[in-house]
Amino acid sequence: MTTYKEFHKRSIEDRDGFWKEQSALIDWHKAPEQICDYSRPPFVKWFKGGETNLCYNAVDRHAAKRPDDKALIYISTETNEEVVYSFAQLQREVERMAAIYQDLGVKKGDRVLIYMPMIAEAAFAMLACARIGAIHSVVFGGFASGSLATRIDDAKPVLMVSSDAGMRNGKAVPYKHLVDEACNIAEFPPRNVLIIDRGLDKGFPKVEGRDVDYATLRAKHMDAQVPVTWVESSEPSYILYTSGTTGKPKGVQRDTGGYAVALAASMKHIFMGDAGETMFSTSDIGWVVGHSYIVYGPLLAGVATIMYEGTPLRPDAGVWWSIVEKYKVSVMFSAPTAVRVLKKQDPAFLKKYDLSSLKHLFLAGEPLDETSHEWIMSELGIPVIDNYWQTETGWPILAICRGVEDSKIKLGSPAFPVYGYDLRLFREDGSEAGANEKGIVGIVPPLPPGCLSTVWGQDERFVSTYFSTFADPVIYSSSDWGIRDDNGYYTILGRMDDVINVAGHRLGTREIEEAVQAHPAIAEVAVVGVADSLKGQMPMAFAVVKDAATVDTEEKRVALEKDVMKKVDSMLGAIARPGRVHFIAGLPKTRSGKLLRRSIQALAEGRDPGDLTTIEDPTALEQIRTVLGV
């Protein structure tokens, strides 16, 4: 039996042989002529000369063999809708959408911008692009018109697909006025806007000659049959803009063949999803997890995927687990933030449902603290796999590959480098860091299949952003700090720009957060570095307590703040002690659960917190303003 160490070693030392084997997991219209073309570093072309199609691999080949098996399960706890599409039904809907695109003049290589809530039609829209060789660019439905306009101008789409509104916590969130504003601001607005009218925003404005109704065109193309367009492996499948960029957005460009192979292999070796099973990823299609593990990954593997519109707490904190029971979910993927939210709820919700179908839970998107990791694993009684990756890579960089070897889980650690990634830790001078020494997480190129092939329209930016941290050798820099223990387990310590320099000492905010959260009274915390005239920077903590009664008087608040600081002193030393620990009711997050650390830091330093249109609860920032007195 192959050990994981041997499996990983072969993926690095026999790159072509390894990936040729993995490429058999998808269907090719034309076999690749060359597995890895690295003749123009750091750019790489995978499966050169091969022709394939993402939609064919995700839908058609399964519809031919297992037409009645579940493919897409759409659930909205906002509108109380549930629709199950078989592979055959999904193929019909995708062909109808593809026929609409062609009716509107969309051709191979054209961009289609998708600005949608989490509804089934959003998946049809993505797959229809792949079907005809168009390039989709999904923009998270919570972005404001200005952010949408900058992405329009970068991608220059010929068509936008949107909806009248999304739904959040029982309230309609109108989209159409944001679409109109963005098109008015943009220099290169799309020729047409295809609108899925959900009936949530009565009387939304329509622009004559530009806006077209989805239901009308769908009725026209009910019997459409649209053959797949075979594309060369390296041709782009989509553009996805990284969040938090300033100025011109950075469009991560993904190829077709390499992405398909990487995802199919990850479903086998990492996520262990088998054809006929069901996977539930609680992300949004506006983010990379939604692309890879709501839409493409599961379907490539013949696994039914759940498209969920709702929150983890509506109608109650058992809603996700009720879905696991009803649809016999075997693979689940969520974020550490969601676990921390659920940790505050009645644990009875976890015991109420039959979760025996669930093989494992995967968590990614931010560092997972040991306390939350231990809690959810003990409550569910199944392996909870922390994994680490980026929008840029498209699939995990660090994880336990249980499909190869069932390695021991280390709490709070995303474990080992995934096959294909020649991952090392580097000091700032470019030399390699040793065990138990902080270093920058770097990947020796070529990047494996599935990673970004470039920045859309900006090859120079691809090189300068990702390959300029170290001059010799050329290394892909993740811009994250990490550390490796004696047993080879990695822990991510936070972004390079989240490292605080206190009087010449480098401190990762992640380490301080772990120490603060180790205090039994603390449920959740964010630590940011704040400019300090004496020490350069000082850590400042914003903590949510488990019981509000512990800070309901000034005396209690002061006592708990001192106690938390003692905890940090004991775990990291006085140098890491936060200048202040502020207690607030909730941390500001986006609707997808991402913590707005930079906005918190900006407020603490008296600066503009930036674009806050994606914030879930605006009162959280107001609380921070109050405790800071700004």
Q: pLDDT tens for residues 14-44?
A: 999 999 999 999 999 999 999 999 999 999 9
**Of residues 150, 105, 104, 114, the one with CA closest to residue 135:** 114
On the question of pLDDT at 591 being above 80, the answer is no
What is the spatial distance between Cα 527 and Cα 34, in angstroms, rounded to a whole number?
A: 48
Q: What is the predicted pLDDT for the residue at 78?
A: 96
Q: pLDDT tens for residues 419-440?
A: 999 999 999 889 999 999 999 9
Q: What is the predicted pLDDT for the residue at 618?
A: 81
Q: Which two tokens stand for residue 28?
A: 């090719």
Q: What is the predicted pLDDT for the residue at 134?
A: 98
**Of residues 510, 507, 70, 433, the one with CA closest to residue 275:** 70
On the question of pLDDT at 595 being above 90, the answer is no
Split at pLDDT 50, 70, 90, the class of 245 is very low
Q: 579: phi > 0 → left, psi -120 to 50 → alpha, else beta; which?
A: alpha
Mind listing the domains of the chain with CATH numbers? 47-240+248-407 (3.40.50.12780), 421-488 (2.30.38), 497-628 (3.30.300.30)
Mean pLDDT of 585-602: 84
User: 525 phi and psi, to 5 degrees?
Assistant: -155, 150
On the question of pLDDT at 62 being above 60, the answer is yes
Q: What is the predicted pLDDT for the residue at 619?
A: 85
Q: What is the predicted pLDDT for the residue at 534?
A: 66
What is the spatial distance between Cα 498 and Cα 517, in angstroms, rounded to a whole number?
A: 18
Q: What is the predicted pLDDT for the residue at 88?
A: 98
Strands of 519-562, DSSP E: 522-532, 536-545
Q: Which two tokens stand for residue 106?
A: 């969309």
On the question of pLDDT at 382 being above 50, the answer is yes
10 Å CB burial of residue 351 (0-12, 13-18, 19+) is: exposed
Q: 450: phi > 0 → left, psi -120 to 50 → alpha, else beta; which?
A: left
Q: What is the predicted pLDDT for the residue at 198?
A: 97
What is the spatial distance between Cα 72 and Cα 306, in angstroms, rounded to a whole number?
A: 6
CB 365 within 8 A of CB 289: yes
Mean pLDDT of 409-426: 97
Q: pLDDT tens for residues 131-174?
A: 999 999 999 887 778 889 989 999 999 999 999 999 988 999 99
Q: Between vectors from CA 291 to CA 289 and to CA 294, what angle results, nearest 5°?
A: 75
Mean pLDDT of 100-106: 98
Split at pLDDT 50, 70, 90, the class of 576 is confident
On the question of pLDDT at 368 being above 90, the answer is no
Split at pLDDT 50, 70, 90, the class of 1 is confident
CB 394 within 8 A of CB 262: yes
On the question of pLDDT at 508 being above 90, the answer is no
Whole-number mean pLDDT of the chain?
Answer: 93
pTM of the entire predicted model = 0.86
